[in-house]
Structure 1
Amino acid sequence: MRAIVVSEPGGPEVLEWREVPEPRPTRGEVLIEVTAAGVNRADLMQRQGLYPPPPGVSEIPGLECSGVVAEVGEDVEGFAPGDEVCALLAGGGYAERVAVPWEQVLPAPSGVTLAEAAGLPEVVCTVWSNVFMAGRLRRGETLLVHGGASGIGTCAIQMAKAFGSRVVVTAGTPEKIAYCLELGADEAINHREEDFAEKVTADVILDIMGAKYLGRNVSALNTGGRLVVIGLQGGLRGELDLGALMARRGSIISTGLRNRPVADKGVIVRGVLENVWPLVAAGAVLPIVHEVVPMADAARAHRILESGDHIGKVLLAR
């Protein structure tokens, strides 16, 4: 088969569309003929040599895909050849075929095309596991989302609104601000012009920045608030005022998705299937797709993501 290979750590130009050995499904795995794959910031980090795949996982980038089941291994439950699906991956999505544990596979939801479904697994599982499972967001509470116009941000807006929460986002351009408000955000703050900590308090904060926002995030927590850190774009090390955190009876949660055991991912996927897939079918939660790029031209997709000008997801399609 053909797949995108990272020839060496570097810029987008190191992504090459090459012949590679085809994966075979082992016990408990599903082999998917890939229709499309989502592009995530973690893929950019992997290309740069900063985020290697877990041990034993394919070196091919790609943390989510959609397609058709081509083959199933022993002990696979609920899937058969010919099924249209999408999947949460630990790697391997930028390829013609990928093998994945069946627990991480979802039936393609109604309401979207099979290609569009590739833009759902990573972001929906990220939001569900962090905002709702770890962050325990409840109806009527306020969610603050940093990077509201990103793939995760646009998904978080829709999911939180569907579950009856108030949503505030930060974004960096008037166009992104306007889009987030159109999508359902109750308030949008231009982080280049205003300090979000002076304008909003929240019960749950979904943070992609890490160190750069740590102090202000704590200041923005309501009493009993939960700060959930899922990214470190603003640095690894910050200074924490424990007194301010204790005064708010707040908590800080840091999580990742890619390196979790298959059983843990299976719990998340089942939660998504039960709680979010009906919202997708109803049109309340949809993938926001900025552009679909041919898979062989993955370098261009990475440049789009690195530019920061996109809104929503960038997809690779065969």
Structure 2
Amino acid sequence: MKKIIALVLSVLMVCGVFAGCGSTAADNGKLNIVTTIFPIYDWVREIVGDNDNVNLTMLLDSGVDLHSFQPTADDIVNISTCDMFIYVGGESDEWVEDALKEATNKNMIAINLLDVLGDSVKEEEVKEGMEAEEGEESEDEPEYDEHIWLSVKNAKVLCEYIAEQLGKIDSADKNTFKSNTAAYTAQLDALDKDYQAAVKQAAVKTLLFGDRFPFRYLVDDYGLDYYAAFVGCSAESEASFETIVFLANKVDELHLKAICKIESSDGKIAQTIKDNTKEKNQEIVTFDSMQSTTGNQVKGGTTYLSVMKNNLESLKNALQ
């Protein structure tokens, strides 16, 4: 990947593509901020507010999942020349290291969100009954759960850090960033309290996903238990008979009234689990992991808060 990125940048420099595809603050008088996924993009949008001094780009805007994304030539140029680049920092972002080494803007601030959270980042967990990934081998290095944005508590910490870093490269707007962030984190605090209240009133305290499970941070925030077909970063799409039976038995044992899935799933595994329960009358509830939110959805009014509020309603349904 490193050689490919270096080659792309060399070719683009020779062709003069930089002038058209990516410009720095020095070129256009504006701050250029590049983010990978939608949640980060939306946080920054809230922090900068109606600031005309900022150009904000979301790389993953076409519905491509974080785990399968590969940057285009234009993406590499935008990263290379931007003033701030913000990314998750997990295994799915391994390409970022090489891209940053080739950056032409040596004053760029690059923010790895996993690094910001430090010790609060969780190792990926394989729960009882989960489908093992094909070719899975033991590794010396732990694999960390990348889905940090699905914690409202994490969102608050990360927004405050991003605002602080933005103030360093735009001191004139530092106070605006600070006040915008304070207003936004107040909304996050209110939503956090709504989640706490919903869990406190819930009849059950366990979620069951016939799907990948990227919501580890969310369930840990509120003391919930869970079962799932796959870990959050799994590339598997077919569950074994043993996995289906295990999860169906858990639905019966815990008297669960809902089986959950994520937004990109066709729901077939959840339906098969339902078909193998005694009652066969569970609701299939969808949670949005924001792993494939598109630019068109953003234009249509989708925000981080709107998605997390919808997830709260899904949580209430799942815990009834």
Q: TM-score, normalised by structure 1?
A: 0.34
Q: Which has the higher helix share?
A: 2
Q: Which has the higher strand share?
A: 1
Q: TM-score, normalised by structure 2?
A: 0.34
- Which has the greater radius of gyration? 2
